[in-house]
Structures are given as structure tokens and as C-alpha cells.
Amino acid sequence: MLNDLAALYTDNLAVFAGSVFLVGLVIGSFLNVVIYRLPIMLERDWRAQAAELMPSVGTAETTTSTVETVPERFTLSTPRSACPACKAKVELKPDGSGLKCVECMRVYPIRDDIPVMLVDEATIEDGTEVQQPQKS
């Protein structure tokens, strides 16, 4: 089987280039997530460790607030994608044409199987009517 695959790649440069391109896209996408999320995860971990070692750190800022906020889980796999405008959860529309925010009802288009998560590109669904946002 590996000999057949090697022969296919040797005989057809386009198949080889396409395969390398797809593998590069997958690895690049994963690295993008790691580069964005790893520093945030490390900072949260460091803050938690510092709070355990020095509980008095940060109390001057929090004396007015008695409610302790617990940050939501933040790993390489969570949280899911969110609306850039209101940070709420987005869900795939039933027809698969876009991602719809559950709060502000913005619909972000999917072009060439890639979600375009730009507020300027989104449309706003109001009931059955779709409105284009005002461009300034």
C-alpha cells in the first residue's frame, strides 16, 4: 500500500502538492489555535498559582467586590467559536449557509467552507427579514 502511494506521488506532482498543501493547512490551523490560546492558559495557571501562594495579592482591587469571578474553562478545545460583536455562542444555520449568533442574531457567511467571522460581513436576521448592517 505504501509503495502504491509513493508511486502515485512520484507519477503525479499535482496530487503530491495538493496533499502537502492540505496537511500544511491542518497543521497551520492547529498551530494558530495553540499560539493564541497557550499564553492565555499559562497566564491563568500562573495567576491561580500566585493566588494560592500569596492570597493577599490583588485584594486591594477586589475589596469593593465580594463576588469572586471564576474564569470559564479555557483549553485548546474550549471555548467554542463566539460572535465577535457580543461574544455569545454561534450555531450553524439549518441550511448551512452561515453561523448565526444566538444573542444578536448576526449571521456570519461561510464562503468556500470557511466561516467569515467579521462584523462588517455579517447580516442581521430580524424574524424573517434579513437586514444589512449600516456601513460607516
Domains and CATH numbers, the chain: 1-74 (no CATH), 80-136 (2.20.25.10)
State residue 61's pLDDT score. 52
Mean confidence (pLDDT) of the chain: 83
77 Rama class: left (phi>0) / alpha (psi -120 to 50) / beta: alpha
Q: Which of 21-25, 71-75, 106-110 has the lowest mean pLDDT?
A: 71-75
Report the run of H or E that residue 131 belongs to, with start and end. strand 129-131
**What are the backbone angles phi and psi of residue 90, rounded to the nearest 5°?**
-115, 145
pTM of the model: 0.55
Averaged pLDDT for residues 75-99: 87
Q: What is the dihedral of CA 24, 92, 111, 124, to 10 degrees?
A: -140
CA 86, CA 50: separation in Å to the nearest integer?
A: 31
- At residue 106, the pLDDT reads 93
pLDDT in tens, 18-71: 999 999 999 999 999 899 889 989 998 998 899 888 877 555 554 444 445 656
